[in-house]
Amino acid sequence: MVTRLYFSAKEGGERSVCLTFAFLFLLLAMLVQVVREETLELGLEPGLASVTQNLEPVLKKQGWDWALPVIKLALRLGLAVLGSLLGAFLIFPGLRLAQTHQDALTLSADRPLLQLLLHTSFLSPLCTLWLWTKPVARDFLYQTLRRSVTSYLPSEGAFDSLRLWVLVALCLLRLAVTRPHLQAYLCLAKSRVEQLRKEAGRIEAREIQQRVVRVYCYVTVVSLQYLTPLILTLHCTLLLKTLGGYSWSLGPAPTSLAPAQPSDTLISVDPAEDEAQQTAAQVAGALGSLLTPLFLRGVLAYLIWWAAACQLLSSLLGLCFRQHLVAS
């Protein structure tokens, strides 16, 4: 709804910003999907392979073998379009986060611990990106550190559970520094009043009151922009744990998820049931064979990784804009 308000604005350039970054994130989402699993282990390739494997026997019976590549391409295009929309939604929250982060650092100049938490929270999307970068995370842990501190390293299967715990901890860290960010935005009212008083001419008290009220009324939108990426990441993490078949335990690795083997039972029904129940059973069986944990792992991991990438890119652009363009 907030993005729709920005997009409907005829003045100010918000619509151009939304369209530009939507197209930019569309290109980046397409580039991400061509990265090999040896570099970025999102699990999209095994997930799409399980979908096509389950669909192949059903389509062969109908003589629709040609539809398999089309379905796989449609799924990839759908993920790219979803990434483009997500990037357009998160561009203004990222720009706002850069503003409140810089102002919060200025207000907490005499509190080094709070500044450390603010910097860690701001760079938390970068840590999320590293978690799924195989040469940085998994290979670094299991090839370099294992040689010296093997007793303190989790097993390879527990690395996925450890990754979930790190995501939850990063979300809680960003939630813990919500108040300094919102307070930094509210302090804009004071700076705007001081800037207004420096202007030449007579200033009415009503104009000063309007500038202060605008800041306090808009704080709800700022809160939404700050908390929405956090809630999105946390919910996708919990869905990844539940639908992906992961566990919170750091013990031995669970059994590998083999794609569900399609059979005639997916489309067989009880003759005693009516037509509506038979259709519902067929649809439920088809969805159960397509939305496998292996496929959901890839999709949810892609959403978490992509949301972190959008947040990091938009917030860094916001810092660059404030430090260079505004200063000049």
pLDDT one-digit tens code per residue, 113-122:
999 999 999 9
Could you give the CA distance from residue 299 to residue 83 in angstroms, rounded to a whole number? 11
Place of tokens 């919990």: 238
The confidence score (pLDDT) of residue 162 equals 87
| Residue 40, SS3 per DSSP | strand
Instruction: For the chain, give the mean pLDDT.
Output: 83
Contact 292, 260 (CB under 8 A): yes
Lowest mean pLDDT among 52-56, 135-139, 184-188, 322-326: 322-326
Q: For residue 182, what are its two tokens?
A: 């919102």
**87 torsion bin: left (phi>0), alpha (psi -120 to 50), beta (else):** alpha
Phi, psi of 286 (to 5 degrees): -65, -45
pLDDT greater than 50 at residue 269: no
pLDDT greater than 90 at residue 224: yes
Could you give the CA distance from residue 75 to residue 69 in angstroms, rounded to a whole number? 10
The residue type of 167 is L
